[in-house]
Copies of this chain bind each other. A is one copy, B any other.
C-alpha cells in the first residue's frame, strides 16, 4: 500500500500514512484530536477540515453546503488520503482543553463531608508499605529467603491473613535482600482475605501513592493520593481519547463491537488517556510508576467494561445485561496502566447497564445509605442517572436526556469551554441580553448551564410559551427575535460581539430539544418517587453531581421544570463525586467494602417497563410542567 505525507495546519505537522487512511485517523496519528459526535458515520458534521491541497477521496459530505465543499471543506471521517496532502483543522473542529471538573466544589458541604467520611471509615488504604529488618541467614539458620521474610511479616503485620507473593516480585527478592543488607521496604495490597507483596525495595520511608480515576464518557480525571497521609497531592484531567469514536456511550459501543481489534483500540484509547495524565503527575511530583501501588476507577458501566476490555455488546441489546457488576480487581499489567505492574486496580461496582460505578461512587460520597433522611442523587449528562433513598431502601434509574446539556443537538451548543455562554439575563422589556462567557472571551456558543438559564429567561420574558413555541406576534419590538427560512430564533449575541461571521442564536427547535431533555430527567425523578410511593416533599436533600450539574442555577432549573420545586437549601452541588468516591475507597478498605455493598443494595428500576415513565415524560413536556401544583413557586 502506498504511503503518503499529510501536513496538518496550522501546526505544520507532517505525518506519513497509508493510502486510504481517513483524515480523522490521520489527524489522531498526528496528535490532533478532532471532534466526532457520530463515531465516524458522517452524520454529525463535527469533524470538518479543509483540504488545502492534494488528492483525496470523499465518500460523503453530510450536512456540508455546496459553498463549503467548493472551498475544500470536507468531513474528516468521510475523506480518505489519496496523495500527499495539506489539511487545515479549524479550531471549532478540535477537541480542546477545557474546564474538566476536577472536584472543586462551588457550593455545599460535601468536600468537607468526604473528609468526615474518611474519618468515619478510617484511613486504612487498599495498599500500604512496611519496612522490615531481617536477620542474615547462616548455615544453621538457613530458611529460604521467602520463608525468612514471611515469618517476619507475620510477626509485624496487624492482621493474621495469608501473605502471597507473585512470581515477578519473588524473582526480585534474593538480590534486593542482599543488596540492602536485609533491610527492605515492602509494598503490599491489603485485601479482605490476604496480603500480597507487590514490590520489594531497599529499606526507605517514602510513602506509597495511589491513583483515584474518574473515567467519564467525555473527560477523564486522575488524582494522585498519598496513601499514608490521605492527602490529594496533585490532579490532572483531560478529554477521554475515546471521543474520536463518538460522543456518547452508544456510539462507543457500536464502534467497540465491530471487531476484536476495534474493542482493543477503544480500550487502548482510555488507557492512553489515563497514562498521559499519570505520566504528567509523575513528572511533576518526581515519582516513578513503581511508586503508584494501587488505583480505584469509577466510571459508568460502558466505560468500565471498555477500560477492562470486556465486550460491551449486551449493554445496548435488550434486556441490557452487563457482563459483570462487581468487577474483579485486576493487576495493572493486565490493562497496561503506568503504575506498578502488580498493583491492583479496583473498579467501582455498577448497578445495571446504565447505572454505573460513577453513580455508586457518588452515592457513597453522599452517605445516603447511612442516613434516615431521604436523599435524591442526580448526575446529569447525556444520561440522567438518579438514585433515591435512605438507610432502608435505595432505588435508581437512568433516563436518556440526549446530548443537549453537553451541547449536542443544539444549533450553537458546545461544552463548557472558553467561549461558551454560561449565564444569560434578558431584560423583560427591551429583550436586551446580558451574557457571561467562560474565559471572558467573545462568545462562540452556549453550554449546558447557559442553555438552562436561557430557557428560563426566554420563558420569563414571554419569548416562548409554556410549550416552547416562539411568540413572534407578542414580541415584535425586538430585532433579536426573528423568523428564518425553516425556524424561529432569538439572538443571544450579535455576530460583531461574537467576533465571528454569525449571530449566536437559540432556535425554536433547540428549545423543543431542551424541553424533551429536561422532561426526561424530571420524569425519571417522578417515576422513582412513584415506585416507592414517596411524595416529592419528603425528599430531605438533593445532591447534584457531575460537570454540568456543578454550574447549574437551581432557580432557573426549577423554573423550567428540570429539578423539583424544593427549597434551595435542600440542594447541594457535590462536583465530581465519582473521583471523590474513588479517592475515599483508595484510602479506606471499609469504604471500599461499603461500595461493594452499595452496588448490591441499590435496586435498579427499568423505566422502559410499563407506562409510568412515558406518562410522566409527556406531562413534563411543558415549562415547568402540565401539573403546576408540582411547582408552587413558579408563577403560572
Contact = CB atoms under 8 A, between A and B. Distances in A.
A627 B173 CA distance: 47
A86 B147 CA distance: 52
Contacts of A146: 323-326
A484 interface: no
Contacts of A138: 319
B311 A171 contact: yes
Contacts of A328: 164-167, 170
A112 interface: no
A291 interface: no
Contacts of A142: 319-321, 352, 604, 606
Contact of A139 (B193, B309, B314, B609): B609
A143 interface: yes
Most chain B CB within a 10 A radius of its CB, from A146, A324, A326, A350: A324
Nearest to A311: B174
A355 to B, nearest CB: 11
A308 interface: yes
B308 A167 contact: yes
Interface in A148-204: 162, 164-168, 170-171, 173-175, 178, 193-194
A310 B146 CA distance: 12
Most chain B CB within a 10 A radius of its CB, from A140, A323, A325, A335: A323
Nearest to A324: B146
Nearest to A173: B323
Contacts of A608: 139
A165 B310 CA distance: 13
A145 interface: yes
Contact of A145 (B171, B178, B321, B606): B321
Given A146-B324, A328-B165, A174 B313 contact: yes
Contact size range, A: 35 or more
A144 B322 contact: yes
A465 interface: no
Contacts of A144: 321-325, 350
B145 A324 contact: yes
A330 interface: yes
A487 interface: no
Nearest to A167: B330
A609 B140 CA distance: 8
A139 B318 contact: yes
Contacts of A308: 167, 170-171
A145 B322 contact: yes
Interface in A548-574: none
A323 B174 contact: yes
A334 interface: yes
A439 interface: no
A152 to B, nearest CB: 15
A627 B454 CA distance: 110
Nearest to A148: B321
Given A142-B604, A311-B175, A170 B320 contact: no
A137 interface: yes
A103 to B, nearest CB: 28
A389 B322 CA distance: 57
A334 to B, nearest CB: 5
Most chain B CB within a 10 A radius of its CB, from A146, A147, A167: A167
A336 to B, nearest CB: 12
B606 A167 contact: no
Nearest to A310: B171
Interface string A337-370: 0000000000000101000000000000000000
Contacts of A164: 328
Nearest to A146: B324
A323 B170 contact: yes
Given A138-B319, A170-B327, A171-B310, 6 more contacts: A139-B609, A142-B321, A167-B335, A171-B308, A174-B313, A193-B193
26 contacts: A137-B321, A139-B320, A139-B609, A140-B606, A142-B606, A144-B321, A144-B322, A144-B323, A144-B324, A145-B314, A145-B322, A146-B324, A146-B326, A147-B324, A167-B308, A167-B310, A167-B335, A168-B334, A170-B308, A170-B310, A171-B309, A171-B310, A174-B313, A174-B321, A175-B311, A193-B193
- The 4 lowest CB-CB distance pairs between A and B, nearest first, are A144-B325, A146-B324, A144-B322, A139-B319
Interface of A: 137-140, 142-147, 162, 164-168, 170-171, 173-175, 178, 193-194, 308-311, 313-314, 318-328, 330, 334-335, 350, 352, 604, 606, 608-609
